[in-house]
A and B are shown apart, each in its own frame.
Chain A
Amino acid sequence: MKTFTPATARAGAIHLTIDGRRYDVDAEGKNLLHVCLSLGLNLPYFCWHPALHSVGACRQCAVKLFKDETDTKGRIIMSCMTPVTDGMRLSIEDPEARMFRGQVTEWLMVNHPHDCPICDEGGECHLQDMVVMTGHAYRRYRFTKRTHRNQDLGPFINHEMNRCIQCYRCIRFYRDYAGGTDLEAMGAHDDVYFGRQTDGTLENEFSGNLVEVCPTGVFTDKTLKMHYARKWDLQTAPSLCVHCAVGCNTIPGERYGALRRVRTRYNGEVNGYFLCDRGRYGYEFVNGGRRLRQPLVRTGDSLQPAAAADAVSRVGAAVSRATGSGASAIGIGSPRASLETNYALRSLVGPANFYLGVSDRHLAILRLMTRVLREGPAPIASVRHAARSDAVLVLGEDVWNTAPILALNLRQASSNAPAAAAMKQKKLNAWDDAAVRGAIRHEKGPFFIASVEATRLDEVARECHRLSPSDIAALGFATAHEIDASAPAPAGLSEPIQAAAQRIAAALKAAEHPLVVSGAGLAAPEVIQAAANVARALKKAGRDARIGLVFPEANSFGASLLAAGGLDDAGRVLAAHGGRVLLVAENDLFRQMAPESARSLLASAGHVVAVDHTTQATTEAAEIVLPSCTYAESSGSMVSSEGRAQRYFSVFPPLEPAQSAWRWFDEIAVRAGKKAAAWKGLDEVIRAMTQEFPELRGVRDAAPGADYRLNGSRVPRKSIRESGRTAVTANVSLHEPPPARDPDSPLAYTMEGASIGAPASLNARFWSPGWNSDQSVSKFQVEVSGQLIGGDPGVRLFEPPAQEAGMYFPPSPADQPARDGMLMLVPRYHVFGSEELSSLAPGIASRTSPSSISLSRAECEKRGLREGDRARVTVDGAEATEMAVLIREMPEGTASIAPGVPGTPVLPLPAWAGVTLASVAAEAER
């Protein structure tokens, strides 16, 4: 039983009796399994999954239903397929129901091997839990079990088909939910095989969820297998994914000082039950060989290890001298560093000298997005909102690749409208939609995409428009004008764009919860302005409209709120007064600007101090390098695209002398005499920051402070049955070491203390007695698939002002017509390869396609190029780069390259560029 009162048990309209106990539930239209689990009752199930709904296939959730008070016989029903009605009397504990469930388990176990001790799922296996729950602990089946050949499914997923119990959850997630086409159910009757046609990598970018969706050990985490530890032996903490700006909640697990895996931490408003593969498998950079472990000081051409105290006093002295000379030190912050790290650097160098380490142009986009969200033409859509919207317009953003979990939810939203219509006609409940979703799978809801090239969401869209950035903006402005005539109309629209705008406007206006999505991906301000206009027009038309803007990096939103300027500004200031001290926080400038610009920026500084956890081009060029911590060894806060401030907590203590980047800056400030005493912990940094930035107040409330205690003690990071506590370091010393201190959080690096009942933002694992698998999450939710008890973690920082503020953006003038030989070059993104840190994980790296340029067929033919050719690409006369040629459906006169992917030059995009392509093969022939 839950230790709190679930929402379903609050005074509700429906009265029901379960095993003689009366419940009043507010569960109109829900099924009995949903109700029982929400009440905290233990009822086993397999084929049901909270996100995949009911199919009634496995018969495991059988209960006894009685007609009335006089009925003593009752009948067996499937709880997942039975809607709750007022006055229902049912029994879970009825002997016949128990026997029925035991039989189902026995059938399911007929072919299941008894290999739990060598199975990676053991100890967190839904099947194990259900077998114990049904009491069916002994097998009568003594015959040969059917066996299968397993497949190599690539770097992420291990396959062990013999363990399969045919619940079909894998393909219901992979195929139906995530849109994958390379995993299917083969065969029939008692010989069903879930796999690919031949060995090969599962291609869908959400494949890792199979590990959690599979109720047993068929699909397990292959990266975990490389350094395996049981769930109960992993030290865990509530954390955040740092590989994009969606802000998915995660539970990374550590043992022996290495991160072993990442699992989903349910957050009803953000990622729900799922993660993308970048988020799940990007973690290996934490264990990578490129980690910085020691302070380094330049001696001649090389960086040599140095004592931390020496390095800090050298930097402190330099900063102090600089302040005295009137040319104070310059700080460059980072969109992938925490708010605290950015703020600490800003405090060290002073507000006017703190720049965000992204180009001025990029910063302007971030600021425009912030302005839009602050003014609030419509409230910001959380991922949950996105999944519930009934009409969607995506302007210019390849959401699948820039905000994967948002895209996964938009994919579900696309069938909301047609499904709702069919469900209403058939009088079905939302959970009973399997048949309807199958029947309407070719019907497309009001879902519109305008993008430069094809995206993975196109298959669910009613209309896709391939347009140049300025035409995408024009389509948006025109749509806004069609919805609300007071929105300014763009001039010189082409007939097809005008007609499309009318259709889109009509569809959005007809919806109750329309959503507009755009973002920084295309880096085109006019596209973001157009999206804002559409949202504003819908709001004015009285719709419950929402807007979602995708930020590029985990903390782009948060960091941009603190900065005085961008990289180009910083470069100008450094150049104007040579010899300054430059401090760079967790940022590789060579990824943000062209190499020659980065080199000259660094050369214009007198001293370059780089703080980062991982070696990169900027740390290699620095004079002094200080080792910081990854998200796994430090605590901090970030602001997601939703404007949600969230806290992540260190999973394991940093290996000294590495420490959180903000601590290095704080130590330097004290050493330079800018500050009397160091901050004692994260809370002090947050307090100072929120005093200076009232807008960030919510950061304080994102999680309890370090002084929080649960029943008088800290919340443990280790499970109550972690093994070998007194022995794990016996090879070093026989004395059991004291647990590491953690001044930054109310969590402890121990197994002591109770964790059940902790606020959701401090919950380090989903576990409940009898529920060892991640399915125990329902014990932590107010209601199945609802909020976590005590509220979903995070605080939204931006809500629309009570008084309508802001105005429509005027349409931007049409672009200059293309010049001969020039191409509109735009950025293209990939789940695998576009993000810096995850690309260091071997699995992600192996999934990354080589650097490429995509063009329309016509543009390729003009140049005599074919798909797959290798071409030497020269942009505006710069050094040529060799890339693969891709033919994509895109407007003539446009081309795209993939920033961040190794081998792609850093360029200000989008831009008209003189691109010359020469086929490498053709050159060789000459």
Chain B
Amino acid sequence: MLSEREKERITEEALLHEYPRAAVSEALLIVQESRGWVPDEAIVEVAGLLGMSTEEVEAVATFYELIFRKPVGRHVILVCDSVSCWITGEEAILSHLQRRLGIGLGGTTPDGEFTLLPAGCLGACDAGPAMMIDGKLYDTLTPERADGILAEYGMGADAQTSHG
């Protein structure tokens, strides 16, 4: 399941800690980096590499909401729903995105391009509403600005889906 490179990187990470198990969240991120998510088989292999039980690894993997235990789209959109963004119009942005993408929160577009998720806070409380795509932060959003950003990720104006 895991590539040699992934195994090497996990083993290296483990050496940086007094106890190999301390590297578990890093190991899961390494797996997620190239695959976008963490499959069941990877949980078993990470457990083996770090001397943990699969349950112990799973407990960590399911605790963090940014470690994905299901496949996600090529781009992951995190929409901030914390108080500051909510005050500045998060609901309008979110419903616009849902309409444009034709998916609900937690959904992935049928073409596998986008997954839409909520986020607790993106650290942009001074410039809400905010969202993050593939780790890049976009703030002071308006529906129009959001459309422009989606276009940067290959979503054309004509791509609006009708099955939302």
Binding site for B on A (CB under 8 A): 181-188, 193, 196-198, 442
Contact = CB atoms under 8 A, between A and B. Distances in A.
A193 B40 CA distance: 17
Nearest to A189: B65
Interface size classification for chain B: 10 to 19
Given A188-B64, A193-B62, 15 more contacts: A181-B53, A181-B55, A182-B54, A184-B53, A184-B55, A184-B58, A185-B59, A186-B58, A186-B62, A187-B62, A187-B63, A188-B63, A198-B40, A198-B54, A442-B19
Contacts of A442: 18-19
Nearest to B53: A181
Contacts of A196: 55
Contacts of A181: 52-53, 55-56
B62 A182 contact: no
A151 to B, nearest CB: 11
Contacts of A184: 53, 55-56, 58-59
Contacts of B54: 182, 197-198
B43 interface: yes
Contacts of A188: 62-65
Nearest to B52: A181
Given A197-B43, A442-B19, A186 B56 contact: no
Contacts of B55: 181-184, 196-197
Interface of B: 18-19, 40, 43, 52-56, 58-59, 62-65
Contacts of A185: 59
Contact of A182 (B19, B40, B43, B53): B53
A198 B52 CA distance: 15
18 contacts: A181-B52, A181-B53, A181-B55, A181-B56, A182-B54, A184-B55, A184-B56, A184-B58, A185-B59, A186-B59, A186-B63, A188-B63, A188-B65, A197-B54, A197-B58, A198-B40, A198-B54, A442-B19
Nearest to A442: B19
B135 to A, nearest CB: 22
A198 B43 CA distance: 12
Contacts of B63: 186-188
Contacts of A186: 58-59, 62-63
A380 to B, nearest CB: 36
A442 B63 CA distance: 23
Contacts of B43: 197
B45 to A, nearest CB: 13
A185 B55 CA distance: 8
A871 B40 CA distance: 35
A196 B44 CA distance: 13
A438 to B, nearest CB: 13
A184 B56 CA distance: 6
Contacts of B56: 181, 184
Those 10 A-B pairs whose CB atoms lie nearest each other, nearest first? A181-B53, A184-B59, A184-B55, A197-B54, A186-B62, A197-B58, A187-B62, A188-B63, A182-B55, A197-B55
B27 to A, nearest CB: 16
A182 B47 CA distance: 12
Contacts of B65: 188
Most chain-B Cβ atoms within 10 A of its Cβ — which of A181, A193, A197, A198?
Answer: A197
B95 to A, nearest CB: 22
A118 to B, nearest CB: 29
Nearest to B61: A186
B63 to A, nearest CB: 5
A635 to B, nearest CB: 43
A441 to B, nearest CB: 10
Contacts of A193: 62
Nearest to A195: B55
A193 B62 CA distance: 10
